[in-house]
Structure 1
Amino acid sequence: MIIVNLNIRGVGGSSKARYLRQVIASEGAEFVCLQETKAKEFLAARFYSLWGDNKVGWVHYEGVNGSGSLLSMWHEEAFSYANHVMGKGFIAVFGNHVKTNTSCVVINVYAACSLSEKKTLWEDLSNLKADSQELVWCMCGDFNAIRSRNERKGIRERASQSGEITGFNSFIDTNSLFELPLVGKKFTWFKANGSAKSILDRVLVSEAWMEIWPMCKQYVQRREVSDHCAIVVKNVEKNWGPKPFRSINAWFMGKGFSEMVKNNWSSYPVQRNAFINIKEKLKALKGDLKVWNRDEFGNIQTNKMRILQELEALYFHDCINDLGEDDRLKRYELVGRLKETEK
């Protein structure tokens, strides 16, 4: 199963919706867990807009005045919904993964800051899992807890930190959960000025989950629309088959795209053999699309990728040594320039 998880820190704004649609489309997401939507209610059209499709199911927990709000969404052709359970800090969605015909539970988690509330959440999740041991389990979200001191950097140690570490690890062990291997960034949350970072977001699964998806990992994405990084949960297996003809989602929103494709397609020579005809037309269209893409999106996309690469380099430098004042200022400038490319 392919899951996208993100503490989005408010779901409003076109840039966040656009980013979410892009991640969902590029990863082929089947299930999405969002924390801190900061919304009391949604219209159906908003869910369709966030996903970019209307074949979407959802459960929304509004929290307290939007605080601690959670949103779980799934594509109805990939996940068959059965029922759900909600409580403070979690949404558990029970259903069936269509492709593998697997009965599973995906729990969207958002933990409060206080240790006492975390302990209550851990107990609620433990009780829920104990009632349905036979199912395949996945818990993902912002657990707001670390498993060791090296998962937090640049933050003064709190008096409750030792209890948090011990309690969180005990919760994981007691429920026979496994944390998926982390790929990409070392941390998932960053303070705005980059002076502090932690692993707060993570994915915990049952042994049965690993038996179904043995190559499953959590892939940490670039931090773009929140102080948290999105995480993509997927089972990556090598495919040595031929590369298919691919398109970019942004093309379909480009001015004149459909007309350009129709005009060019009709202008290509027609071959007698139907198979060869399609093959040669796709080959010619691929070349024309490269030119059109460069003219329409080339400059914007090139600039955006260059900015993201510079931010990535600063991130890795910061993981080894804290950034100096000049580098922190540079990062602020790059983030500002990145926002300009998204307007």
Structure 2
Amino acid sequence: MVFVQETKIQNPYDGLYEKIWLKESVQGRAVKSKGRAGGLLCIWQEGFFKVKEVISHKHYLLLIGIARGIRTKMGFGNVYASNDEEERNVVWHELSQIIADGDISWVLGGDFKSVRNEEKRIGRGEVNRTATSFDHFINEVGLIDLSLAGSKFTWCNNKEEPAFNKLDRFLIDADLLEMDETMIQRCLPISISDHNPIIIGPGKVCWGPKPFKFFNRWMEEESFNVVMKDYWINKRRENEERKGFGGS
């Protein structure tokens, strides 16, 4: 399943989806752009998803149906939020009502035009107010904003005074995480757009070495030396056996 925002396509034509996704049988849905602004596109493999219902709006494209390998009804939402805060809050309210209505596992992805904390922003912009309304939306719909691997930011203004923000993300249903706890979202290198592409799927992320903690009071315990000696003896035995020396 692929989400594309700001396509600037006013009249989706026959064969558009196959032209974008070559050499596979695909289906798609689109929201027309308004002049040269906006436009949304969803494309998926025929065998992956069977769409039952489509809800379209200039700021979102929602697909409800059956996905391969998932027992519950699935909802996929391609979101391209407004730059206007009031209009954006209206979209959050509409999406909350739609998601709350029905037993559907949702995946929302796209450009939400919202930064959740100061660590995800460099440059000008106001975080607190927009973060509050966006956080309220996420909590209300019960979706999870996974940690982003590959980069802290997903957008750059490419100006002399650069600004970096994390505007793009996937929000997923907790039930999907229970099916696959390795689910992550990853930021890919930037290309012709000022936004980085993001992919979501199973995988492992190296967040760096695990921190080692040692409390000095442990050495005051009578059993400390015994525990440490037993540990190193067992560790040495494991290393010797791994190398094929056997030993005791």
Given that 1:215 and 1:236 are in contact with CA atoms closer than 8 Å, whether structure 2 keeps it comes out as yes
* SS in structure 2 at match of 1:128: helix
Instruction: Using the aligned pairs only, state the percent identity.
Output: 27
Q: C-alpha separation between the residues in 2 aligned to 1:172 and 1:100?
A: 23
Q: Which amino acid aligns with 2:12?
A: F
Structure 1 match to 2:172: 205
Q: Give the TM-score normalised by the residue count of structure 2.
A: 0.77
2:46 is the alignment partner of 1:76: yes
CA distance in 2, matches of 1:200, 1:237: 23
Query: Does 1:167 pair with 2:133?
Result: yes
SS at match of 1:44: coil
State the 1:47 CA deviation. Answer: 1.4
Q: Alignment partner for residue 65 of structure 2, among 74, 87, 95?
A: 95
More strand by share: 2
Residue of structure 2 equivalent to 1:110? 80
Deviation at 1:102, TM superposition (A): 4.3
Corresponding residue pairs, total: 204
CA contact (8 A) 1:148 1:165 kept: yes
Shift of 1:110: 0.3
Larger Rg: 2
Aligned AA for 2:52? A
Q: CA deviation at 1:42?
A: 2.2
Runs of 4+ in 1 over 3 A off after TM superposition: 99-102
Aligned partner of 1:219 in structure 2 is: 186
Deviation at 1:79, TM superposition (A): 1.4
Q: Which runs of 5+ in 1 are unaligned?
A: 1-30, 239-343
Amino acid at match of 2:130: E
Q: CA RMSD in A?
A: 1.8
Counterpart AA for 1:231: I
Please give the per-residue CA displacement for 1:108-140, whole angstroms capped at 9, x wherever unaligned: 0000111001101100100110112x2111110
Cα contact 1:137–1:208 (8 A) shared by 2? no
In the alignment, the residues of structure 1 paired with residue 204 and residue 136 of structure 2 have an alpha-carbon distance, to the nearest angstrom, of 32
User: Structure 1 length normalisation: TM-score?
Assistant: 0.57
Task: Give how far 1:237 is off.
Answer: 6.9
Cα distance in 2 for partners of 1:212, 1:37 equals: 33
Superposed counterparts of 1:114-125, under 5 Å: 114-125=84-95
2:159 counterpart residue number: 193
Aligned partner of residue 53 in structure 2, secondary structure:
strand
| Inter-partner Cα distance in structure 2 for 1:79 and 1:214 | 22
The higher-RCO structure (CA 8 Å, 6+ apart) is 1
Spell out, residue by residue over 1:235-264, the C-alpha distance to the aligned partner (whole angstroms, 9 max, x if none): 1279xxxxxxxxxxxxxxxxxxxxxxxxxx
Partner of 1:60: 30
Cα shift at 1:101: 4.4
CA distance, structure 2, for counterparts of residue 53 and residue 124 of structure 1 = 37
